[in-house]
Structure 1
Amino acid sequence: MADLYTRLMDKLYLFCIWISAISILFMSLIIPWEVFARYVWGHGVRWPEPVATMLMVLFTFLGAAASYRAGSHIAVAMVTDRMPRALQAATAKLVDLLMLVINVFILVWGFSLCMGTMHQTISALPWMPVGVTYLPLPTGALFTLLFVIERLCLGSQAERPVVKREEDLAVEGVL
């Protein structure tokens, strides 16, 4: 069962990475389009700014979930590095438990926010409910929650081949 869960999390991790990368790519194309339209045509179009913002939110929350699994998130280790090994392990478990609580909170209240704003629309995109723009919040929290459960039950997955960066694999002689 653990092997199946880990394989599913590998797929979820890759999904988060790909969606984040595609979001950054499209955001990088949309913003220059808006600048071109404004300065060459003399008037801007309404849709690029909200779409670029939604893409930024999407890659932020899905990228954060992937970053957590890879162990490459921002961490202040100045204090914990000076602790005895046993206390470091206990502190790491405490952090994971706090991540569990925080992500459950974000999942529940983020979903509530989405549902509560589904009847509103964005002025620049009148066909899109506001709640859709908030969906990356509970989605990212759900994905991070699944990665937290994996870490609590199975340990860190930062050394899995699917998670390791190419530079790390090249140094180890894998690539």
Structure 2
Amino acid sequence: MKNNILRLTDILYLACIWISGASIFVMSLIIPWGIFTRYVLGTGSQWPEPISILLMVVFTFFGAAAAYRAGAHIAVAMVTERLPAGPKRLMAGLVDVLMLSVAVFMTVYGSKLCMETWGQNIGEIPWMPVGATYLPVPLGGFITLIFILEHMVLGYQGQRDVVTFDHEKIEGGAL
């Protein structure tokens, strides 16, 4: 059961990385197009800026979830690293609970925001509902919630044995 959960969270983790990478890649194509149409053709396109902003939001929330799971998120550990083992575990538990509350907040209130703004349209992209632009908030929050629960129950990803998709065991590493 544990290995199945780890495989699913590994797949979710890789999906977050690919979604974030694809967002940055598409942004790097769209922004030059907007510059080209504005300064070379003299007729600036209306859609590159809002699409690029949306892609940056996608990158931020999915990338943050992946960074949390990898332990690569921003953490100020100067004080906690100097604590004895007992208080250090207590602080780590407190951080997990606080992160859990932030992820629940993002999921619940992000979902409400999406539903309440779904009927509105973006001026530059009339076919896209405003609520769709907010979808990365609850989705990223939910994925982060899954990763936090995984961390709380199964431990930090980098400190446990990893069973890869072809059932090969890697000691103390991550995918």
Q: What runs of 5+ residues in structure 1 fail to find an aligned partner? A: 163-171
Number of positions where the alignment pairs a residue of Structure 1 with one of Structure 2: 164
- After superposition, give the CA deviation of every residue in 1:30-49 in whole Å (9 maximum; x if it has no partner): 00110011000012000000
Amino acid at match of 1:9: T
Residue 125 in 1 paired to residue 125 in 2? yes
| 1:136-147 equivalence runs, <5 A | 136-147=136-147
| 1:27-106 equivalence runs, <5 A | 27-106=27-106
* Whole-angstrom distance in 1 between the partners of 2:94 and 2:154: 15
TM-superposed CA distance for 1:10, in Å, is 0.1
User: Which shifted more, 83-92 or 127-136?
Assistant: 83-92
Amino acid at match of 2:47: W
* Whole-angstrom distance in 2 between the partners of 1:10 and 1:41: 45
Q: 4+ residue runs of structure 1 moved beyond 3 angstroms?
A: 159-162
Which structure ranks higher in relative contact order (CA pairs < 8 Å, sequence separation ≥ 6)? 1
Amino acid at match of 1:104: V
TM-score, normalization: structure 2?
Answer: 0.90
Q: Which residue of the partner structure matches residue 26 of structure 2?
A: 26
- After superposition, give the CA deviation of every residue in 1:69-111 in whole Å (9 maximum; x if it has no partner): 0000000011111111221111111101111111111100000
Of all paired residues, the percent bearing the same amino acid is 56
Q: Which residue of the partner structure matches residue 17 of structure 2?
A: 17
- After superposition, give the CA deviation of every residue in 1:15-68 in whole Å (9 maximum; x if it has no partner): 000000000000011001100110000120000000000000001000000000
TM-score, normalization: structure 1?
Answer: 0.90
SS in 2 for 1:158: helix
TM-superposed CA distance for 1:158, in Å, is 2.5
Amino acid at match of 1:97: V
